[in-house]
């Protein structure tokens, strides 16, 4: 007869062994991302339902996104690449991966194909996986097609409390798409971004404008939104207009209180002397 402590340890070991066996069986029954050969196969296995804030968490070769497609920076952008590299010592060229990915994304209409990542890897002299690691870590890099206007809804707590889900629902309903889908005219897509630092003017969205390529690229904030106002902004963009950036609340100036200041109404008084301890 085993003592109580030994019996408890034996039960725990048996439980761990049973759990490990169940997980191994599940892995054998479930295909890995590397086993998926096509978007149709991915949809059939349910992998497309597993998304993050900006794109799918794996790569599938397609005619417009595979390692064999030709891709290089334009002559003008190659000059920008050389300027980026000039900021770093020659043995730390990989430090320029993030700004180069951003430049490639602007050049390629809002997303970064695998061929662009491979081109960057050659420029900085690292294995391609080093660039893939960066591109898959940061949600600001899109690895699938987005609209010429990529609308990013803040989904973090302050914006959510102030109605960001209503903002997103209004956008998706008006445009007739799901999150991360592109409208049939290629003009708009809707994604989610975590906190963008405008909590005081929540809810807000950011609009990445790829309509003019890397030379005219803009990334603007639109704050204090309502479902009605965000639809109006979309229609202004569709007409080629430039909506006013920042707060959309006419009673607010920048990030000041709505309705005007209630304190600190005059010029602040300076201390009677510079040495506060002696005053």
Burial status of residue 170 (CB atoms within 10 A of its CB: 0-12, 13-18, 19 or more): buried
Which CATH code is given to the segment(s) 55-137? 1.10.10
pLDDT of 54 > 50? The answer is: no
- Residues paired with residue 150 on neighbouring β-strands, in sequence order: 189, 208
In sign, the C-alpha dihedral spanning 126, 132, 134, 140 is positive
Rounded to a whole number, what is the distance in angstroms from the first to the last CA of the chain?
A: 82
The CATH 3.40.30.10 portion of the chain extends over 149-247
pLDDT of residue 100: 97
pLDDT digits (tens, 9 = 90+) for 154-189: 999 999 999 999 999 999 999 999 998 999 999 999
Task: Please tell me what DSSP assigns to residue 154.
Answer: E
Task: Please tell me what DSSP assigns to residue 268.
Answer: P
pLDDT of 38 > 80? The answer is: no
- CB count within 10 Å of CB 191 equals 25
- Taking residues 59-66, report their average pLDDT: 88
The CATH 1.10.10 portion of the chain extends over 55-137
Residues 6+ apart with CB under 8 A from 259: 251
pLDDT of residue 270: 77
Rg (CA), the chain: 26
Average confidence score pLDDT of the chain: 84
Nearest to 161 by CA among 104, 222, 204: 204
Encoded tokens for 191: 């994604």
- Name residue, tokens 């790829």: 210
Q: Does domain 149-247 have CATH number 3.40.50.300?
A: no
Could you list the beta-strand ranges (E) of the chain.
149-154, 188-193, 205-209, 218-223, 246-247
| Rounded CA separation 99/101 (Å) | 5
- The dihedral formed by the CA atoms of 196, 201, 202 and 203, expressed in degrees to the nearest 10: -90
According to DSSP, the β-strands at 188-193 and 218-223 are unpaired
Query: SS3 for 4-33, per residue?
Result: HHHHHHHHHHHHHHHHHHHHHHHHHHCCCH
Query: What's the pTM?
Result: 0.71
């Amino acid at each position: 007869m085993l003592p109580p402590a030994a019996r408890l340890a034996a039960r725990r070991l048996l439980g761990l062994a049973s759990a490990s066996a169940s997980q191994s069986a599940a892995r054998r029954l479930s295909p890995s991302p590397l086993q998926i050969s096509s978007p149709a196969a991915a949809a059939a296995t349910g992998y497309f339902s597993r998304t993050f804030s900006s794109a799918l968490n794996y790569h599938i070769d397609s005619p417009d996104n595979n390692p064999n497609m030709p891709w290089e920076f334009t002559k003008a952008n190659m000059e920008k690449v050389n300027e980026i590299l000039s900021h770093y010592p020659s043995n730390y060229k990989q430090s320029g991966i993030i700004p180069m990915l951003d430049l490639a994304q602007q050049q390629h209409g809002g997303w970064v194909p695998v061929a662009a990542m491979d081109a960057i890897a050659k420029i900085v002299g690292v294995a391609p996986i080093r660039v893939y690691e960066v591109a898959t870590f940061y949600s600001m890099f899109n690895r699938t097609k987005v609209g010429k206007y990529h609308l990013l809804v803040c989904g973090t707590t302050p914006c959510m409390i102030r109605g960001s889900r209503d903002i997103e629902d209004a956008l998706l309903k008006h445009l007739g798409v799901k999150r991360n889908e592109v409208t049939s005219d290629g003009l708009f897509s809707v994604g989610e971004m975590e906190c963008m630092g405008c909590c005081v003017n929540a809810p807000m969205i950011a609009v990445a404008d790829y309509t003019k390529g890397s030379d005219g690229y803009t990334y603007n904030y639109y704050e204090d939104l309502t479902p009605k106002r965000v639809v109006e902004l979309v229609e202004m963009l569709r007409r080629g207009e430039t909506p006013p950036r920042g707060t959309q609340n006419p009673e607010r100036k920048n990030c000041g209180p709505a309705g005007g200041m209630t304190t600190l109404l005059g010029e602040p008084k300076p201390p009677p002397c510079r040495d506060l301890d002696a005053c």
